[in-house]
Amino acid sequence: MSRLMVFQHVAAEPLGTLHARIRTRGHRIRFHNFQRDPDAQPNVDRYQGLIVLGGPMNVEDQQRHPHLKTELLAIEAALRQGKPVLGICLGAQLLAHVLGAPVRRHAQHEIGWYDLVTTEHGRADPVLAHLGEQAPVFQWHGCTFDLPSGAVQLARTETCEQQAFRFGPNTYGFQFHLEADAAMIERWLQLPVYREELAAAGIGRDEESIRGATAALIQKMQPLAETTFNNFLDLVGRPSRRIALPSRHGA
């Protein structure tokens, strides 16, 4: 039975629908919740894959959140060992940073539902090809990243160029939240810090409009998410291949 390590940053951003998918596939999960244990020193050596979830902090917050430095080192170790890695939102930004790409504040927040547009590479990708040319996804982020050197861009939105990338055969960064379900989205809409971020974003969306869009679109996203996660989990357990990484700056 393969084992996956999962980095969680806050209680409000769990594995969501990905949790049941991992269990159904027979994988064991080892969580490191850095909100509860910021001094944890995870070792990825005995695990077959790594998933890094989202959170309200950013790559630039390493002084206030030293566990981010710990995570960067663990991500780098997993990549060097050739293990499948999936970064979601903050996780994708940390992954891009490890791969040497700049991560910065985006000119415009993306909060709510957006049309994800796949690239030619995305439409041929073993994990994302089923999305077709366009698919609805849920977003909640204010930062973005450049495409890492050697990576392949898989998707974009009208308001944010870098939405998904693949590095090597089994490393993926998703800026969006395919793991979200209606309950998770509602939880975010009720948390004061998330509501304040939405109000301050100035994007012309409010809680009720996001609730309405969620009711209309969540049932369309979830089967796409299930297939995406199944495709990624297909990569877990394949023979690893050690790779050379670019130099990482600013960590």
Domain of 134, CATH number, reads 3.40.50.880
- Cβ proximity of 27 and 233 under 8 Å: yes
The pLDDT profile of the chain, 251 residues, written as one tens digit per residue, is 689 999 999 999 999 999 999 999 889 999 999 999 999 999 999 999 999 999 999 999 999 999 999 999 999 999 999 999 999 999 999 999 999 999 999 999 999 999 999 999 999 999 999 999 999 999 999 999 999 999 999 999 999 999 999 999 999 999 999 999 999 999 999 999 999 999 999 999 999 999 999 999 999 999 999 999 999 999 996 544 555 566 554 44
Is residue 251 a part of any domain in this protein?
Answer: no
Q: Which two tokens stand for residue 179?
A: 């793991």
What is the pLDDT at residue 251? 42
Is residue 240 a part of any domain in this protein?
Answer: no
Is residue 250 a part of any domain in this protein?
Answer: no
Specify the pTM. Answer: 0.93
Judge residue 241's burial from the number of C-beta atoms within 10 Å of its C-beta, 0-12 exposed, 13-18 middle, 19 or more buried.
exposed
- Cβ proximity of 159 and 114 under 8 Å: yes
Is residue 106 a part of any domain in this protein?
Answer: yes
Beta strand pairing call for 3-8 and 28-33: parallel
Is residue 133 a part of any domain in this protein?
Answer: yes
Is residue 248 a part of any domain in this protein?
Answer: no
**How many whole angstroms separate alpha carbon 12 and alpha carbon 168?**
31
Which helix (H) or strand (E) element contains residue 60? none
Residue type (1 letter), 74: A
Is residue 143 a part of any domain in this protein?
Answer: yes
The residues near 119 (Cβ < 8 Å, ≥ 6 apart) are 153, 154, 155, 156
Is residue 247 a part of any domain in this protein?
Answer: no
What is the pLDDT at residue 241? 52
What is the pLDDT at residue 2? 84
Virtual CA dihedral for 135, 136, 140, 144, nearest 10 degrees?
20
**How many whole angstroms separate alpha carbon 211 and alpha carbon 110?**
15
Among 205, 19, 36, 211, smallest CA distance to 111 is for 205
Domain count, the chain: 1
**How many whole angstroms separate alpha carbon 170 and alpha carbon 165?**
11
Domain that holds residue 117: 3-235
Which letter does DSSP use for residue 48 in this model? S
